[in-house]
Structure 1
Amino acid sequence: MSITVVRRTGLIGTILKMTIKINGERVAKIANDQKLEMSIPNNVVQICATQSGVKSNTIEVKDGERVQIKSNKWSNRIYVLYYIIFITGIFASNPLYKSIALLMIILLGFILLFIVNAFQLTILDDKTTI
């Protein structure tokens, strides 16, 4: 029994590998644009992915299915906003602006860690090439 996982997260989290969890247990790490075939203990398992505390949704996968990991559209927008605020905060001369930028960065980090699933797992149909 096995499943295939492919990661296509684009620029989000490219530097770090993601941890794949099956039934809550860490079983593998996957790099961006990597395809990984994994053995599963049962015919049906729960799978999710995490990266530095940022998580994905959890889905049920059956033997032989293919799973794709992509960045969530909201997380992409949050990351862009995060970097804009970060760069603006670095170049701001006013200490108040720097403090506001820091608070906004902390808030966006909180949203990414605890509210939004930054990555989206989906099961690919048989016609989709990976």
Structure 2
Amino acid sequence: MAASSLKIEGLLGMVTLRLKDYNFLKWRYKLESILEGYDLVGHFDGSTIAPPKFSILDEEAVTSKVTTLDKEWLRANKALLSFLIATLSDDAIEYVIGSKTAHDAWLSLSDRYATVSRARINHLKTEL
């Protein structure tokens, strides 16, 4: 699926749970599976980088005209950021407020919940 023809509604139908404090590992596994299946994980892990914003006219000048590739990348990235936000609980949304890209939001969520998940695992091991 090309990022420019991305249909978020179809992706949302595949996500059956919202991120909460106790289900980060399950949520991440489901989301990564979907994203990898549609070759979209690059927007989240940072491997798909934004193309140059402006066209280069010659070796010395850059125009102020925004490139079509940049517009398409930005549209796809905002759609994926919206998709990510739609999979979050109300409590989890506070950790992505201010994120400009899907990658920024993904990093914020991973930083917040990966530590909580590790601490929860250690706590459960201790209880056993």
Richer in helix (by share):
2
TM exceeding 0.5 = no
